[in-house]
Amino acid sequence: MRILTGVKPTGNGMHLGNYLGMYKPFMEVAKWKEAFLFLPDFHSLTSVHDPEIMNRNKKRLAAELFALMPEDITVTIFEQSKMTHINDMTWILSSVTPYSLMLRAHSFKDSQTKNSDINMAVFNYPILMTADIIGYDVDIVPVGKDQKQHLEFSRDIAQNFNKTYGVDFFKLPEPYIEKTVELIPGTDGRKMSKSYDNFIGIFDDEKILKKKIMSIETGSESLEEAKNPDICNVFNLIHFFASSQKEQEIRAKYLAGNYGYGHAKLELLDILLKYFTPAREKYDIFMSNYDVIQEKLNEGNKKANALLTEKYLKMKELVGL
């Protein structure tokens, strides 16, 4: 059993929503399966055209992924752009991908409504993503709900290839959509997401972290009044990160009154700092000595590249090249 997912370097870094909705569940599964996590940096080219920003975003995300990785788990982390044949495979796959299928992609339709002219990488995005998955014989792909259609495309394209050449060559990947993501509130109470700009970054400066937490929207009851923890965005986050004993304690304080939202926020800050301090410390070390990370990535690249190359060479033969 092999699982794989890609985390696009965007520059904002990992936030609490990514962590609970994607990273943590992925690491749980990684205990039992062969797991791959990669940086789809070719995909980032759809929107990032500044080499310095590209590089900075990638470094930051790689250091974050390694800093958060539990010690007892081995996940292969690699860089998409270091795969020798990923685009060759994408090209062959594009020759069995109907144009009409591509026209149905939400991702491309959404960016088309935002921009008057999109680049071809945005249009071809799902074919590269297909190669990312089926090129390594992946069984399960944990993704957010927004990627569900891309996974369907991967299955369709894999099937098209198998049918066209009369072979059972590519495995059809199964998506795994984690439900928790929907439940993690951002600072405005909506689902925590980069696109809403309501996220709380795990590796942000303590000052920024505090500012973000203090900006979480809450009710407007007076300090004295009793408060309902179950409808409070602050308490909702406390629930995910505090020990159950701590959670019960804070719940009691909400219900008793004389406990303000400001108190709860400071408590949340404290809980988050405790929870993430080991990872934050590791992150600082990695960022000041990035060679360590690059070496780990090189190892991952070697392993992933060997798998993809083997698959690609067979594929090339199958098509008669």
Q: Which residues bind ligand TRP (CB under 6 A)?
A: 5-6, 8, 40, 43, 129, 132-133, 141, 143, 147, 150
Which lies closer to ligand TRP via its Cβ, residue 147 or residue 233?
147
Which lies closer to ligand TRP via its Cβ, residue 133 or residue 232?
133
Q: Could you give phi then psi for residue 175, rounded to 5 degrees?
A: -75, 150
* Residues 318, 321: Cα–Cα separation, whole Å: 8
Report the nearest approach of ligand TRP to the CB of residue 118 (Å). Answer: 15
Q: Between helices 244-256 and 233-241, what is the axis angle to 10°? A: 160
Which lies closer to ligand TRP via its Cβ, residue 152 or residue 247?
152
The CA angle 115-131-175, to the nearest 5 degrees, is 85
Which lies closer to ligand TRP via its Cβ, residue 5 or residue 198?
5
Determine the length of the chain. Answer: 321
Report the nearest approach of ligand TRP to the CB of residue 46 (Å). Answer: 10
Report the nearest approach of ligand TRP to the CB of residue 142 (Å). Answer: 8
Nearest alpha-carbon partner for 124 in 162, 86, 161: 86
Which lies closer to ligand TRP via its Cβ, residue 5 or residue 124?
5
Which lies closer to ligand TRP via its Cβ, residue 132 or residue 267?
132
Identity of residue 188: D
Q: Could you give phi then psi for residue 96, rounded to 5 degrees?
A: -120, 15
Nearest alpha-carbon partner for 85 in 301, 318, 298, 299: 301
In order of 35, 79, 98, the CA distances from 129 in angstroms are 17, 13, 16
Report the nearest approach of ligand TRP to the CB of residue 143 (Å). Answer: 5
Which lies closer to ligand TRP via its Cβ, residue 23 or residue 235?
23
Task: Give 303's contacts (C-beta < 8 A, 6+ positions apart).
Answer: 76, 78
Report the nearest approach of ligand TRP to the CB of residue 244 (Å). Answer: 32
Torsion of Cα atoms, 192 then 197 then 200 then 206, to 10°? 180
Which lies closer to ligand TRP via its Cβ, residue 63 or residue 141?
141
Which lies closer to ligand TRP via its Cβ, residue 40 or residue 300?
40
Under DSSP, the state recorded for 195 is G
Report the nearest approach of ligand TRP to the CB of residue 321 (Å). Answer: 25
Task: Give 16's contacts (C-beta < 8 A, 6+ positions apart).
Answer: 184, 192, 199, 200, 202, 237, 240, 241, 272
* C-beta nearest to ligand TRP: residue: 6
Report the nearest approach of ligand TRP to the CB of residue 34 (Å). Answer: 15
Token pair listed for 174: 């199964």
Report the nearest approach of ligand TRP to the CB of residue 266 (Å). Answer: 33
Report the nearest approach of ligand TRP to the CB of residue 38 (Å). Answer: 7
| SS3 at position 86 | helix
